[in-house]
Structure 1
Amino acid sequence: MMTISKRSLWPREYLRHFQRKPSLRFVALTWGSRGDVQPFVALGSELIRRGHRVVLAARAPFRSFVEEHGLDFFELEEDGTEELMHSLASSDGGPDGVKLLASWQRRMVPSQFRQFWQATAGADVLLSNAAFTSPALHIAERRGIPIFQAFFDPGFIPTRRYCVSDNRVQQRNELLNLATTRLKNLVGGLFTWDLVNAWRREQRLPVDLLGEYHRPGLLFRLPVLVAWSRELVERPDDWPEWFSQTGRWRLATQQQQPDARLKDFVEAGAPPVYIGFGSWGVHDKKAVTDLLLEALRVTGQRGILHRNTVDGRSSFPADVYVDDNLPHDWLFPRVKAVVHHGGAGTTGAVTTAGVPSVIIPAFFAQDVWGHIVREKGIGTMLSRRELSVDGLASALREVDRPEVRERARALGMRASNEGAEVHAADEIERWLKEAVAGR
């Protein structure tokens, strides 16, 4: 059984140089695609509104997006995101997927240590995407400042209530639930423990034995922000009070205004179907584009397609709109359904919009959200092997059933009222106050 103390205790080494001030300098350390970056922009915008300064470390393509929302930008080197996503999408999600992730981690960890160290110069507090920026923990310790870990997908935080196994949330017996997640975290830490210790030795820090910094013992001593809606996966009651399930962090709708052409298309007819596969990295774009257009035709749907999902043909049917500037939080409430890859960010956006999903996962982490959506009765899921004109047309008809639309609408109403980014900022300020008081 897990032992949970009565209050949050950052290890003392994380508080050596922390001073609580009216205005703090936060540095958010991210990795990956738009879906990994945008939540921190939303949270950062709220922290700025409260008088703090926020620096976001991300790849060059996100500079304008970050800066136009008032955050400072630290440019990270290209990290192989697209290469990894393409490779995962072409793997079977089993041992090949694990090998790919292990290989990527070993390539990226030394680079993250170097770049994150530069990015965090002068920081008062760190924010990190816990699943993909593990060097942030060690850097926070070395700098002697607090860190908040954000989790966007279930399955990394041990609980007696459930575990993620076979690419879905499962409720086994309590001990097996705990053991499954703890073992997964420990194995993940062991992939790079030698690289971590090489850096720690350079910094004259104690050696991190057996992936210790991925074990629940330390995890449960650090404040955690759980950034998915309780309407999708509820907070277990055995997590400590300083694990705050805030819901999905969203940009204000007024910060996501569409261009005139998109607005005109949406208003010109019946609600369209949105189709975009985000970080999937479609391999045969011509075949997929032909398939999508035919599925829309046979179901009589208007369509909005993300440019990254389709090929480079110069013309599309008049009832199909193609672009890459498609603000989700403005657009999704105005569409009939969303066909997507099942990333955490996109799934959250569709859920809060109150419309059904058709999820076509690219790899195992996205299967988890596909199963959740299907079990909630707010959408359906197709495997890539099932992606055909008939398969997609059938899925679109399935999510157009009145009972599916109503469940999606009702769940979206509840999820959209969570005030997630405000809740997260409240919790951050509260626990930083506690850190000073408890020192």
Structure 2
Amino acid sequence: MTFHTRSRSMSDEVVANTTPPYTLIVEGGSSVVQDDGRIDVDLDSPAARTALRFIPPVSEDDFISPPPTYSSSGQCDINLNIVIHVVGSRGDVQPFIALGNELQKHGHQVRLATHDVFNSFVEKSGLEFYPIGGDPAELMAFMVKNPGLLPTMTSLKAGEITRKRQMVREILEGCWRSCIENDPSTGAPFVADAIIANPPSFAHVHCAQVLGVPLHLMFTMPWSSTSEYPHPLANLKYSGTAASFANAVSYGVVDWITWQGLGDVINDWRETIGLERVSLTEGPSLLQTLKVPFTYCWSPALVPKPKDWPSYIDVCGFFFREPPVYTPSSELNEFLRNGPPPVYIGFGSIVIDDPPRLTSILEEAVRAVGVRAIISQGWSKVCSSSSKDILYIGDCPHEWLFQHVSAVVHHGGAGTTACGLRFGKPTAIIPFFGDQPFWGKMVATSGAGAQPIPQRFLTAENLAEAIRYCLTPQAMNAAEDIAIKMLSESGVKSAVESFHRNLPLDRMRCEVLPDQPASWVYKKSAKPIYLSKLATQILLDHSRIDSKNLQPTTSATISYGADMLRFTSDMFVNPYRELKGRDRSLATSSATEDTADSPERVDSQAPNASGESKMDWDKAGAAIGAGAVGFGKFMKHVYKGIIVDIPFATTEGLRAVPRLYGEKVEDYAVRDWKSGAIAGRKNFSQGMREGLTDIFTQTHKGAKEDGAIGLAKGFLKGTLSIGTKVPSAALGLVAYPAQGISKSLHTVIKSKTRNQIVKARLQEGQYLARKVTKPETDYALVMQTFDILKHPDTR
């Protein structure tokens, strides 16, 4: 790929309704990274077709495969430590403050981890704050200069891209510490039981993996592949490709380019917390592979949920915090009283290169329309002398101010857009980068605002035109209609229900104190016992357990396991469906056709010398074919998920498949390197022998016991053995000894990370035990319950 620059006339911009800027030219085609942050890729170019080989294909399974079994009620009776990772501006942080406050109402302890500058903003809301580093003002300034995913040559020369990568590394490390370190203000211990994050925080899935806790992503712009519209950061060109395919693949393009720029930074950091590196081909699609639950915080009245999003992706409505108590200054109060409602103009956290030029444009447009205006200074300090018709103000809550204006003009941040529509205010958006063009387009499509004006092309004339449209009855009515629909929504409450509904509560619950999350596994018992930090400390204090018999809870990817089970069952369910379907078809045709008139059909079912019918063999062949489809999906998913589930888990999963059809499978106890080596050798010899012979033995056995149908079943079992027992044998030769070695020895890095988690959880358990004010009888109940779980036969 080579980089070039090009320009386009303003008239071209109006016709194409896109923003022209600097361009990424791909040999044989073109890919434009526009100045609003969108990527223009020609899917018809040879280079694009080559690049698509590195992007996981969009398949039906990615859209419709069911999530794991979660809580169906949307209620959660476990009190969790929840850390929320947010990277971005104040407008990005504010919705999560509303979310955190709602989570607190359900008994959860909530820590909001974001940039240091938002410390007081978060703590004043009653949430625990943890600083992750990174300067949002510097980040906003960089994004204005480099709104695409690729930096300008000027930024490269100035070293800005190096500083941005250093900032990302700082944020990754800060997010990890926020999961396990004490409260910086009070010193109270905290270890995350669940993580909520916005996608740009990047650390989320990796922190969840090392801790073994659930992850839930929430965002203000589409980040999940859909065929209904493209990724907001992608503008794809195509001719012979269906629009639905182009839309769906655009999400992979954005993920792939993002990983190209930051994958090495993320992988270097992963190694410091004891995780393996993720490949270029798998890194961009981790969230899709793991089917991480998403909640989108925008109003379905503005953008409905796409039909091809599965049930673990929700659109819940905008997140609004409780309106703050605000008393306006005498100057602001007097301005609002002394004339008709003004137009609000503000660009929030956007850092602009030339504030005086922007100020001049704003004032000229306001005077051309003949309206009054309130102009917010924002982070760029857009300011001049106030006059009778124009008032410059500092920070003022939008929730209060927007109730007193006639229309709003802003950069198109999701929070500001939501607040304007909440109060039925027509909206003109001047997008700078990111999702801002997306929201500008959505508002314009609804009729509640003018067409967005990219900041690069903002003039007094086109801004005046946009303001005039916002003051028309058409725009006012459209904005009012959206506001009425939004009244019935409760975005924050719905998001909390979505979060609860997607928690694997049965896997998270302490077996001794059911309202507490499990953090430890006690394995010196008839079966593993899952214990909370508090229950564990009580048992330690009373010498009921030894800490050396405790292991931190970890969970493999839940949805990956669910898919493995689903695809495995397809190898058996689909053949039987095929058999039953043909039986129903035969019964129907028998009821509607005269057999005397269909001699060929009768002959096809005539018994042969062995007493079996030809139709039986047709059914058997169809069943085998249906099983092969399920087998193909099974094997595809094995290799798709192998980078996130260790070979040991894959080996065990493959080896356990025969249990589905009633065969006994021996369990191997791997305790150390010696037992691991023995298990590996034994599994190899047995797996290779049975895997290569089952296709004959099972087929013969099935045919002998149940004729043609039994033969089909036996053939399926034998085929399955080749695909499960043989790979399990080969993998196990390495996986079992490796598992044993890992239990005997840990690398310095992994030991350090594990020790961090162990120390943090024990410390929090001690802290909780000191805080407990319950009577001693509760302690007795804890120990009694534990004893019953440890020795169930004594009940």
User: Structures share a fold, TM > 0.5?
Assistant: yes
Q: Point out the structure with the larger helix share.
A: 2
Counterpart of 1:405?
A: 476
CA shift for structure 1 position 108:
3.1
CA shift for structure 1 position 353:
2.2
Counterpart of 2:622?
A: none
Name which of 196, 201, 214 aligns with 1:146. Answer: 214
* Alignment pair present for 1:51 and 2:107: yes
Name which of 186, 189, 193 aligns with 1:124. Answer: 193
Any idea what the Cα deviations from partners look like across 1:15-71, whole Å, max 9, x if unmatched?
A: xxxxx8642221111112111100110100111122222111122332222111110
3-state secondary structure, aligned to 1:229: coil
CA distance in 2, matches of 1:437, 1:5: 23
CA distance in 2, matches of 1:264, 1:233: 38
Counterpart of 1:107?
A: 166
* Alignment pair present for 1:39 and 2:95: yes
What aligned pairs does 1:237-316 form with structure 2 within 5 A after superposition?
A: 237-253=307-323, 255-261=324-330, 262-308=332-378, 310-313=381-384, 315-316=385-386
* One-letter amino acid of the structure 1 residue matched with residue 136 of structure 2: T
Any idea what the Cα deviations from partners look like across 1:293-334, whole Å, max 9, x if unmatched?
A: 232233222211112255454x31033332222211222233
CA distance in 1, matches of 2:91, 2:218: 13
CA distance in 2, matches of 1:383, 1:265: 30
Any idea what the Cα deviations from partners look like across 1:78-107, whole Å, max 9, x if unmatched?
A: x24323322332457585469889767633
Name which of 253, 263, 269 aligns with 1:183. Answer: 253
Q: CA RMSD in A?
A: 2.9
* Alignment pair present for 1:89 and 2:144: yes
CA shift for structure 1 position 201:
2.9
Counterpart of 1:161?
A: 228
CA distance change for structure 1 residues 211 and 248 in 2, over 3 Å: closer, same or farther? farther
Give the gaps of 5 or more residues in structure 1.
11-19
Any idea what the Cα deviations from partners look like across 1:267-303, whole Å, max 9, x if unmatched?
A: 4431111110123222222232233223223322221
Contact kept, 8 Å, 1:227 with 1:246, in 2: the verdict is yes
3-state secondary structure, aligned to 1:305: strand
CA distance change for structure 1 residues 367 and 55 in 2, over 3 Å: closer, same or farther? same
CA distance in 2, matches of 1:219, 1:333: 44
What aligned pairs does 1:389-400 form with structure 2 within 5 A after superposition?
A: 389-400=460-471
Contact kept, 8 Å, 1:257 with 1:330, in 2: the verdict is yes
3-state secondary structure, aligned to 1:54: strand
3-state secondary structure, aligned to 1:304: strand
CA shift for structure 1 position 159:
1.2
Farther-moved stretch of structure 1 (386-395 vs 167-176): 167-176
CA distance in 1, matches of 2:269, 2:381: 43
* One-letter amino acid of the structure 1 residue matched with residue 171 of structure 2: Q
Contact kept, 8 Å, 1:167 with 1:365, in 2: the verdict is no
Name which of 54, 62, 83 aligns with 1:27. Answer: 83
CA shift for structure 1 position 371:
1.7
Counterpart of 1:6?
A: 66
Contact kept, 8 Å, 2:431 with 2:453, in 1: the verdict is yes
User: How many residue pairs are counted as aligned between the two chains?
Assistant: 425
3-state secondary structure, aligned to 1:292: helix
Name which of 117, 122, 126 aligns with 1:70. Answer: 126
Counterpart of 1:322?
A: 392
Farther-moved stretch of structure 1 (256-265 vs 322-331): 256-265
* One-letter amino acid of the structure 1 residue matched with residue 66 of structure 2: K
Contact kept, 8 Å, 2:232 with 2:435, in 1: the verdict is no
CA distance in 1, matches of 2:433, 2:93: 20
* One-letter amino acid of the structure 2 residue matched with residue 426 of structure 1: E
* One-letter amino acid of the structure 2 residue matched with residue 161 of structure 1: E
3-state secondary structure, aligned to 2:231: strand
CA distance change for structure 1 residues 110 and 54 in 2, over 3 Å: closer, same or farther? same
CA distance change for structure 1 residues 406 and 283 in 2, over 3 Å: closer, same or farther? same
Higher relative contact order (CA 8 A, sep 6+): 1
Counterpart of 1:346?
A: 416
CA shift for structure 1 position 434:
4.4
Counterpart of 1:358?
A: 428
CA shift for structure 1 position 391:
2.1
CA distance change for structure 1 residues 359 and 102 in 2, over 3 Å: closer, same or farther? same
3-state secondary structure, aligned to 2:298: coil
CA shift for structure 1 position 206:
3.4
CA distance in 2, matches of 1:280, 1:47: 30
* One-letter amino acid of the structure 2 residue matched with residue 231 of structure 1: A
Contact kept, 8 Å, 1:142 with 1:203, in 2: the verdict is yes
Contact kept, 8 Å, 2:85 with 2:198, in 1: the verdict is yes
CA shift for structure 1 position 217:
6.2
Name which of 413, 417, 425 aligns with 2:496. Answer: 425
CA distance in 2, matches of 1:356, 1:390: 19
CA distance change for structure 1 residues 257 and 433 in 2, over 3 Å: closer, same or farther? farther
Contact kept, 8 Å, 2:172 with 2:202, in 1: the verdict is no
* One-letter amino acid of the structure 2 residue matched with residue 28 of structure 1: I
CA distance change for structure 1 residues 325 and 9 in 2, over 3 Å: closer, same or farther? same
* One-letter amino acid of the structure 1 residue matched with residue 478 of structure 2: R
CA distance in 2, matches of 1:104, 1:233: 36
CA distance in 1, matches of 2:289, 2:92: 21
CA distance change for structure 1 residues 104 and 365 in 2, over 3 Å: closer, same or farther? farther
